[in-house]
Structure 1
Amino acid sequence: MQFRIHENIFAHFPGLSLAVVVADGIDNSCIPPEVSEAWRLAWTKAGQEAAAYGNAQSHPHVRPWRERLRAIGVSSKFPSSIEALLRRALKGGEPFSINGLVDFYNAISLRYVVPVGGFDLEQVSGPLELRLTREGDQFIALGEEEPQPVQVGEVAYTDGRTILTRHFVWRQSRTALITPETRRVFLVSESLGEVGPQVAQAVLEEMTHGLRRHFGAEVRPFLLSEAKPLAEW
């Protein structure tokens, strides 16, 4: 299988770096205590950090997402996943929990203040791409049964003609969600040029190490950019 970033994505997001990890043999049946603790600490610290900036959208890693998405016509009603997550952390209280893998990558997302997401590879057929949407692409939202209409030209992760995310890093579809039964996974984190490739490299190393340590996974890491837009495994 392969994952490709189409070249026109870099015209809208210059300097974009993606930390991608493909992992097999995962045990996601329970939440490791170390993951729960890391998630709790990241949640608390990120909330405090956001408070220091006054709000989530003013954080220097979040503000460029708002600017880049606005430049391609995305409404502020569709914030990046990291802005939405940081807003929740800012409200305080106990962090929510979904499952081990999701809690694991959400902790990394808040620690570095970058988007992180993932797809269950056993639920996709490929090719996986980051591209602009086309006529005939379909998106099924969480909790829905029927596809929603999607305008041509949105930035999206796709599996063939199936849209896996809307507005790049806004919302994931019900397709290929990570569950406790997930055994093969594609994790991805996006670092804008304003944030820098060094953050993407640090995220990549942490995802790689954590997947091996906490989930017993066999891991293949990739650092992708305009110079290297393709991952094959």
Structure 2
Amino acid sequence: MRFRHAEAIRTGFPELAAGALYAGGVGTAVDTGPRAAEYTARAAARLAHATEGEFPEVLAWRRAFTRMGLKPTQYRSASESLLRRLRKVGSLPRIHPLVDLCNAISVAYAVPVAVLDVDRIAWPLLEVRPAAGDETYTAFGGALEQPAPGEVTFVDSAGRAHARRWTHRQSGLSAVGAHTGRVLVVTEAVHDGGAEVVAEVLKTVEEEVAAHWGVATQSAVLAPDAPEFVFGV
């Protein structure tokens, strides 16, 4: 199984820093609540001094969305949406122990952290690339959508899109749930210093997975000279 960003994305967004992690055996019979609360508290402390719209990590994604022709306050990166919810509601949604943990890590570092069900993706390749216009996307409610040509999405080997507008929204098809056994975690940043943050996020997720599930992981920081993550071998 392979994950990568297409050359068009690397060229169009040279500031992109990204990393990916693979893990199996991540069932629901664990309690990540206390650790998730610690990461959420870090984000809440930061939000006490500034809104998420002032964070450099968020502003960088807004600039990236503008370059994609999107209105950044209409289509927000996943990390901005989570931070906004945390500021307004005071909590994050409870979905799955690993997703809850990664959402908390996402707000703590203010960068997107996506968790996808490996067994709901058609392999051998999942690629972040501009849509051709013939891909299909399954919304969380089950409705089928078609990303517009040029829209950045995660496309698998069957032509299925697993995201809308890059880091805006994941697919219901590969969403993690009680059925999930294997996951691919992807984190991306486009702000100055993003490479260091991505490496730290990967290390944090790896340590938390080991502590809660006791399973080994595979991970890699991706770069122009090493753009592909090969895993599950």
The TM-score normalised by the length of structure 1 is 0.92
Q: How far apart are residue 193 of structure 1 and its match?
A: 4.4
Asked if 1:29 is matched to 2:28, the reply is yes
Counterpart in the other structure of 2:228:
230
Q: Decide whether the 8 Å contact of 2:40 with 2:105 is kept in 1.
A: no
Counterpart in the other structure of 1:178:
176
Asked if 1:208 is matched to 2:206, the reply is yes
Asked if 1:78 is matched to 2:67, the reply is no
Asked if 1:64 is matched to 2:63, the reply is no
Q: Deviations over 1:96-129 (max 9, x none)?
A: 2111010111121112111001111111122111
Percent identity over paired residues: 28
Counterpart in the other structure of 1:11:
11
Q: Number of residues paired by the alignment? A: 228
What is the CA–CA distance in structure 1 between the aligned matches of 2:133 and 2:91, rounded to whole Å? 42
Q: How far apart are residue 142 of structure 1 and its match?
A: 0.9
Counterpart in the other structure of 1:44:
41
Q: How far apart are residue 25 of structure 1 and its match?
A: 2.4
Q: Deviations over 1:62-99 (max 9, x none)?
A: 11100111012012211000110000111243432111
Q: Aligned partner of 1:200: which letter?
A: V
What is the CA–CA distance in structure 2 between the aligned matches of 1:115 and 1:21, rounded to whole Å? 14
What is the CA–CA distance in structure 1 between the aligned matches of 2:120 and 2:216, rounded to whole Å? 18
Q: Secondary structure at the match of 1:40?
A: helix
Q: How far apart are residue 13 of structure 1 and its match?
A: 1.7
Q: Aligned partner of 2:140: which letter?
A: L
Q: Secondary structure at the match of 2:45?
A: helix
What is the CA–CA distance in structure 2 between the aligned matches of 1:98 and 1:6, rounded to whole Å? 30
Q: Secondary structure at the match of 1:62?
A: helix
Q: Decide whether the 8 Å contact of 1:12 with 1:72 is kept in 2.
A: no
Indicate which of 91, 98, 101 corresponds to 2:98. 101
Q: Aligned partner of 1:14: which letter?
A: P
Task: Provide structure 2 residue ranges, at least 5 long, that are not aligned to the other structure.
Answer: none
What is the CA–CA distance in structure 2 between the aligned matches of 1:86 and 1:122, rounded to whole Å? 29
Counterpart in the other structure of 1:159:
156
